[in-house]
Structure 1
Amino acid sequence: MKSPLLTSDESVILLELASGNEMAYNYFVEKYWQKVLQQALSFVKSYPVAEELTQDIFIQIWQKKEKLSEIKSFDNYLFIVSRNLIITHIRKKLIETESFKGEKLQEMFLKPDEQYEYKELDKIINEGANLLTEPRRTIFLLSRVEGKDTDFISSELGLAKRTIRWHLLEALNFLRIYLHRHYGIRLLILLGIGLRSFISSFL
């Protein structure tokens, strides 16, 4: 259950976040979202990609919240987490680009067995998405399936941007757990046939 914040002392709020207080988490998301987004945007030069990276950064903050009780400066910690994830993303894209350059034209398309696995993976993700409550399900589908940004979703659904962000973070957390819990071995197989880029958004 969410408990209200009774202080404006960030060091105290940080301890609240470390103990799992969602209000404390919302405080840091609201305060630092734009800063992280602009940092990501300065590197990747794509707003949708920067927004996804920002979501992933705050998801990692929540997943590793217990560690926050050991840090003194959330700003510094957030900078390190952001830098590491952005660098990982850039390295991954460089590897994918080099890999893609070396492929023959006929290898650019999925083979029949890979097409089947791709459809199976899509089915698995849809199963998980169907378990999400509304409006979280719709927000997730608009963001990660249709590629819409927060501004569009906010306007389309008439919800505040911070509400959209919260639902996206919660949806992605849920789907990561769902995929690992129900399809752990299957995902390893799918990764083995080269569908890493499609899966990586949900792991």
Structure 2
Amino acid sequence: MLQDHTKHLQFRIAGGDESALRELYECWSGQLFQLAMTIIRSRPLAEEIVEDVFLRIWQQRSRLEQIENLKSYSYILTRNISIDYLRKTSGKRIYNLDEVQLPPLLVEATPEELMISAELLKKINLAINDLPPKCRLIFKLVKMDGLKYRDVALLLNLQLKTVETQMSIALKRLHNAILFQLPAASRQ
């Protein structure tokens, strides 16, 4: 359903509808900002990069209908603009996923998820934040931002197998963190 809404906005933007671009900005700017901030590590520059992403989407609106996955496209555009900035200012690439500094991630609960105890939710958030940086970034992009494994691999210049492995590690750690320990007598 969300994919349909994105396609609808994409079509409207391609037709020159500025309000659709604003709506898309409101939906995605926070996620794109986090990615730019991860790479650039400067709030004002990350904000400027996100604005540049949406400016480019608007400038390229005549070709927008040819883009299959606008969300992946915008993530890759954010990454590329961020890396271009780093190359221009430092003369070298400073993009190491193992050194990524992400802000603590919080699982946002829907009404159904509010039934989960606060303690369990705390364990989940701790487990997510205890993941290695690359693993946490991949987990965030897949589970929280809704990107597909192949899109994350493309975005981060990784092999698809690496994304799969990192997700497997993340899910195993989360599983272990939330396992309910049954008393020894009841396990037998």
State the TM-score, normalized to the length of structure 2.
Answer: 0.45
More helix per residue: 1
